[in-house]
Chain A
Amino acid sequence: MTRRVVITGLGVIAPNGNGVPAFNDALRAGRSGLRRNEAMQKHGFACQVAATPSGVDELAEQAFSEELLLAMNQSHRLAALAALEAWRDAGCAVPAQDDERVNWDAGAILGTGIGGIDTIGARVVPLVDSCRVRRLGSTAVEQVMASGVSARISGLLALGNQVTTNSSACATGVEAVADGALRIRSGLAERMLCGGVEIASPYIWAGFDAMRVLCRQWNDEPERASRPLSATAAGFIPGAGAGALLVESLDSARQRGATIHAEVAGVGTNCGGHRGGGSMTAPNPESVRRCIGLALDDGKTAPEEVQAISGHLTATGADTSEVKAWAQALGRGPGELPHITSTKSLIGHTLGAAGAIETVAAVCMLRQGFIHPSLNSEDLHPEIEAFADSVPHELRELPELRVLMKAGFGFGDVNSALVLRKWEA
């Protein structure tokens, strides 16, 4: 019999709230985390709005030893804070650093889109270029190696199962949850900390600004700058943060008496192969539909069971095709499409963290039965006007919510989708 997989822990550092209680409140209130960004202004970006979490260093200083802090760059700090919250939320104890026991049944898949570019920009490039290589010290490698974020968590929690960092651009966070769920379902692990992280850095955002995919028309009204689904959507707003979910076998969760937040019923991951309209930067629409279908099939879920969608929806031209892809994949026309919302309207696009933070948001919505408002979409794009009823401009209480789909679609034409079910014991 197939092992069932559930989510027992949540952790988040988001532009509109650090920690799940604050984030949950921000979702319900439709609170925006977008602000005018001084670094972008200083460096001559066309887009000068970003969504970044505040108070991260203060939280890290409370949570980690001085030696650890000396070795942790921003990626490590964000990821570790979210991971520790998820671990503790699941009722798991954080082991002492001199406790030699290894937790062989627990692992981590914590991804990132770009990685430790703060270390590369502030230390590696300047020191190498000025022929002062030895001044890099011992911490540069662990900070720039992509797997540094998951390795750091392993050290904090003595994780002894698979510990890795996945990277699939903006689909990273959703893919991490999907891969963790599959590993547990296959019996290779009991608990996997899954999620993603991305830091705030002009070095990350510059390339996107140059591509003209960042919004440059709302610099004076930052909270209105992320406009998914809107006729006046003008590009995405870059964001930063981390999300983590403790994904666990139902058997293990029951044995521990853990609180179950939701079930990961189905997962789907694929790639459009850069064909049929897909490219390095655009999704093959057929692959998006197939990915949604894969998750439904995997979760033995009928399309009509899906009551809500947490879309990828970045506030670029791809939003309208995404809505149409959902409608086609679910066989639901105008007037029938489930509620569809964009967490990026509140927190911008946190890239490698997006799927993870937004899956945390999805689980919050399932647990409490609500759909958070999709901000700045009052002037819905004319191509999707027929789906207007499905887009919440204000909080929608939805106590009957049982099945929600979350998807992430990334550069490279990669896709990942989840069918999440409310847990009813």
Chain B
Amino acid sequence: METSEIQGRVLKILTPYVKDNSALENAGAETNILEDMKVNSARLVDVVLAFEDEFDIEIADEDVDSVNTVGDCVTLISEKLS
């Protein structure tokens, strides 16, 4: 799957949780999910479950610890898909 497609699907999953819409509109690989998009950190577990469902993958809890940006999500999902 193309990186751009993964990023598009990641952003769609993040959308309901984003409090700063300008961060969403200008989102790129470097956009920080908590600091820029102001996503409630408690909801990250729901975002990860949605990734699992969307891409039919399994993500271990320890994998999530290193995820901070949209790019981190795309990298993690790409690894799991390959």
Contacts and interface: CB of A to CB of B under 8 A. Distances in A.
Co-complex (A, B): yes
Interface of A: 65-67, 70, 97-98, 134-135, 137-139
Given A134-B61, A138-B43, A70 B49 contact: no
A62 to B, nearest CB: 16
B45 interface: yes
Contacts of B44: 138
Q: Which of A135, A138, A139 has the most CB of B within 10 A?
A: A138
B1 interface: no
A134 to B, nearest CB: 7
A66 B19 contact: no
A188 B19 CA distance: 34
A139 B45 CA distance: 10
A137 B44 CA distance: 9
A137 B43 CA distance: 8
Interface in B19-39: 19
Given A66-B15, A70-B16, 12 more contacts: A65-B16, A67-B16, A67-B43, A134-B45, A134-B49, A134-B61, A135-B49, A137-B46, A137-B49, A138-B42, A138-B44, A139-B46
Contacts of A137: 45-46, 49
B45 A98 contact: no
Q: Which of A67, A97, A135, A139 has the most CB of B within 10 A?
A: A67
15 contacts: A65-B16, A66-B15, A66-B16, A67-B17, A67-B43, A70-B46, A134-B45, A135-B49, A137-B46, A137-B49, A138-B42, A138-B43, A138-B44, A138-B45, A139-B46
Nearest to A70: B16
A98 B38 CA distance: 11
Contacts of B49: 134-135, 137
Contacts of B15: 66
Interface of B: 15-17, 19, 42-46, 49, 61
Q: Which 10 A-B pairs have the closest CB atoms?
A: A66-B16, A137-B46, A67-B16, A138-B42, A138-B45, A138-B46, A137-B49, A67-B17, A137-B45, A138-B43
A27 B17 CA distance: 41
A151 to B, nearest CB: 13
B17 to A, nearest CB: 5
B19 A98 contact: yes
A137 B64 CA distance: 14
A66 B24 CA distance: 15
Contacts of B43: 67, 138
A139 B15 CA distance: 17
A351 to B, nearest CB: 30
Contacts of A98: 19
A138 B64 CA distance: 15
Q: Which of A66, A97, A98, A134 has the most CB of B within 10 A?
A: A134
Nearest to B52: A135
Contacts of B16: 65-67, 70
Nearest to A98: B19
Nearest to A142: B42
A381 B76 CA distance: 70
Contacts of A97: 19
A306 to B, nearest CB: 50
B64 to A, nearest CB: 11
A70 B46 CA distance: 10
Contacts of B61: 134
A135 B59 CA distance: 11
Contacts of B17: 67
A98 B22 CA distance: 14
A1 B67 CA distance: 60
Contacts of A65: 16
A65 B40 CA distance: 14
Nearest to A69: B16
Contacts of B46: 70, 137-139
A62 B49 CA distance: 26
Nearest to A137: B46
A220 B34 CA distance: 56
Contacts of A66: 15-16
Contacts of B19: 97-98
A139 B49 CA distance: 12
Contacts of A134: 45, 49, 61
A381 B17 CA distance: 57
